[in-house]
Structure 1
Amino acid sequence: MLIDLVHFTPGLSLAGGLLIGTAAAVLVLFNGRIAGISGILGGLLSLPQRDMAWRLAFLAGLVTAPIAASLLGQPIAPQIDAGWSTILAAGYLVGLGTRYASGCTSGHGVCGISRGAIRSLVATAIFMAAGLLTVFVKRHVFGG
């Protein structure tokens, strides 16, 4: 296995993990809410809209953090090797999966596992297995 040392950033990854963990802890301690992005966004899209201010603030932080990082010298240059139809289909499937799993990887993986929730452990294991299987099939069956 080769490690791409140019893009290997353990310090930034650790800092990002600490920020995510801190944000999740602050949200649950002071607001009693789980930091699951699908639930936060879903709360904004449902009627009647409840708790709108903190939901908008949380989502604004998700959008502005990469912008701030790029202004501080960390270039943001994601490369997605897929067309719009693939991206839209993947987004739909992720949204469908979050409905069936009653949450997303952030809610189950970060918050649920830290609370010791068995269903979050199972859901996160399934998310990871599905991701591994998808990459394997894409690379070895379809030659991507």
Structure 2
Amino acid sequence: MAEFNWQTALLGGGLIGIAATVLLLFNGRIAGISGMVNGAISLSREEIWRWMFIVGILLGAAVYEYGLAAEATPRSAFAPAAMILGGLLVGWGTRMGNGCTSGHGVCGLGRLSARSLVAVITFLITAILTVFIVRHSIWDFRF
């Protein structure tokens, strides 16, 4: 397992905060990734800013991974089927919760939204319970 590096964590968190603030200031939009991806599917000219933000996220990750990172990011031991199922469940949950961790956790809490606070607490409790069940279950989740 890679060691925690507080400098890169602080830099990454700061960049996320700056990106969310710039998007809100110049576009009046919340940087919720699930809503951004959902809106980008329309492919309309007015929604080009969504694609620019998504491409920026991917390029930023690639620049870090292949240019700035001191060592390679550790790979997950989960099977692809479990990762796909998890991704679909997260997508379903973001539709039910009317937003994702980036929208509620970064932007909503920054705006002191009570609804976002409830959503983030729900996300955390669900994540803690999921990890507990997966790690302490008699079932094998490597399908």
Does the TM-score normalized on the shorter chain lie above 0.5? yes
Q: Given that residues 40 and 48 in structure 2 are in contact (C-alpha distance below 8 angstroms), is that contact kept between their aligned partners in structure 1?
A: no
> Would you say 1:112 and 2:76 are equivalent positions?
no
Partner of 2:121: 125
Partner of 1:139: 135
Deviation at 1:73, TM superposition (A): 4.2
Deviation at 1:143, TM superposition (A): 7.8
**Any stretches of 5+ residues in structure 2 without a counterpart?**
none
Change (3 A) 1:135 1:43: same
Among 88, 94, 113, the alignment partner of 2:90 is 94
3-state SS of paired residue (2:44): coil
Q: Given that residues 30 and 103 in structure 2 are in contact (C-alpha distance below 8 angstroms), is that contact kept between their aligned partners in structure 1?
A: yes
Among 78, 81, 97, the alignment partner of 1:82 is 78
Deviation at 1:103, TM superposition (A): 0.5
3-state SS of paired residue (1:116): coil
3-state SS of paired residue (1:51): helix
Among 52, 55, 60, the alignment partner of 1:57 is 52
Q: Which amino acid aligns with 1:113?
A: L
Among 66, 72, 76, the alignment partner of 2:61 is 66
Among 10, 16, 21, the alignment partner of 1:25 is 21
Deviation at 1:75, TM superposition (A): 3.7
Deviation at 1:91, TM superposition (A): 0.7
Give the TM-score normalised by structure 2: 0.89
Deviation at 1:12, TM superposition (A): 0.2
Q: Given that residues 27 and 33 in structure 1 are in contact (C-alpha distance below 8 angstroms), is that contact kept between their aligned partners in structure 2?
A: yes
Percent of pairs with identical residues: 44
Q: Which runs of 4+ in 1 moved over 6 A?
A: none
Deviation at 1:61, TM superposition (A): 1.1
3-state SS of paired residue (2:73): coil
Q: Given that residues 43 and 49 in structure 1 are in contact (C-alpha distance below 8 angstroms), is that contact kept between their aligned partners in structure 2?
A: no
**Any stretches of 5+ residues in structure 1 without a counterpart?**
none
Structure showing greater relative contact order (alpha-carbon pairs closer than 8 Å, 6 or more residues apart): 2
